[in-house]
A and B are shown apart, each in its own frame.
Chain A
Amino acid sequence: MKKYTFEKKIDTRSGFGAGLAELGRTNDKVVALCADLTGSLKMDEFKDENPERFFQTGIAEANMMGLAAGLTIGGKIPFTGTFANFSTGRVYDQIRQSIAYSGKNVKICASHAGLTLGEDGATHQILEDIGLMKMLPGMTVINTCDYNQTKAATIAIAEHEGPVYLRFGRPAVPNFTPADQKFEIGKAVMLNEGTDVTIIATGHLVWEAIEAGEQLAEAGISAEIINIHTIKPLDEEAILKSVAKTGCVVTAEEHNFLGGLGESVARTLSTHHPAPQEFVATKDTFGESGTPAQLMDKYGLNSASIVAAAKKVMARK
């Protein structure tokens, strides 16, 4: 098992803030909008350096999405910022008609996704957003795993023509992606080559997958670990190549098992190469209040769950 280390834990949203600030200095077409969560989204640096290109919309997310769509007409590249819940479900029809169907070059940047939002509870913990967004034709869907990957993704999506949903989170998590790693939309990242089971993880579950891989190695199991940061378009080639070798797969995500990464992988496998699959995800449930660690433990989104799922799926081969 390849060894992964990190210097410190840091939140993915800070990676977004850093990436956006860099874009502010390098790309004058980039504009940013925020619905009263500038500090939470780490957009202050961009705002302070580019006040004329920053739009505070107030607590009015529907209007924010429409403003963003309109700003593209005239050549701007708008980045919207609010929590994942308010970036998707609250404004689904605005995104659907004014952004996706209209083919507008808007980057919908969503923080505090999933259970790890923590104590605020289920009203704010969206576990359905990947499904909502991947169903929109033409929408690119990205869920990053650490600070460096989020920063790189933020910069990369500015160069991509078309609507993008970029999902990240609140808590400090290990920052293990090399700072110079190029972010390629739609391209899987091979974290560890193995032969017994494929573990495909996205977002905060990627570090858990690495830890699971170490635990499995101690038990003599060789896990291939793939980081899928782009859920749509999905890197089907990487997935099929790996499963052809291992014969089974575990998917891991901080999202409902309905509509998430796991279902996209299952569709790929059932179409091209049927293979046993286990899902580490929430099971059609809302979240609740608690610390991020308590919640991930209670809802089975951790390395122990991935290890158990790996052993289970291997037995089904």
Chain B
Amino acid sequence: MTAVAEAAAPPPPGAALAPAPSCGALFLGFLGLGLIGFGGVLPMARRMLVEERRWLSAESFTELLGLCQFLPGGNVINLSVAVGMEFRGAAGAASALLGLVLGPTAVVIGLGVVYDRFRDDPTLQHMFAGLAAAAAGLLVATALKMLAPLRRNGRALLVVAATLIAIAVARWPLLPSLMVLAPASILLCGRRGR
């Protein structure tokens, strides 16, 4: 994330933040973010919020992101709510969230219409089968990238393996699985004394 962020011209140190955005500005800012962010919106979100529009300082961005990662829900979805809330309360949160999801929703539904219309066409079927296999490959790569930092941590690998077996092999429902696995994960792997 930092590599991407540093590629853009950073604001000079101590540059003043922009004035608090209106609901309309929040909507438009996140609308743009939703439409440009392919394959992960987070680096783009930092660039927009901290460097381009200067709504947040680098410190408050990191702090809000920490909160969003701690809570359930997509990180960037939560971030839009948190940023909107900071500036304009519930109305700001709703504006930012709506802006973020409106564009991508329209695009996926457009793609879905095309898929439904041509799903019986053998050429399209072959193309979609290949597309789906490629999307699965991206997910495999994401999982392996997340796994790499844990590879020397036996306890963490134990939790990963237990989760994988419960969810992918035994196909247990998520809620009861989490009620067992989350406390186990925290007890085994929560870092103390920092």
| A, B: real partners | no
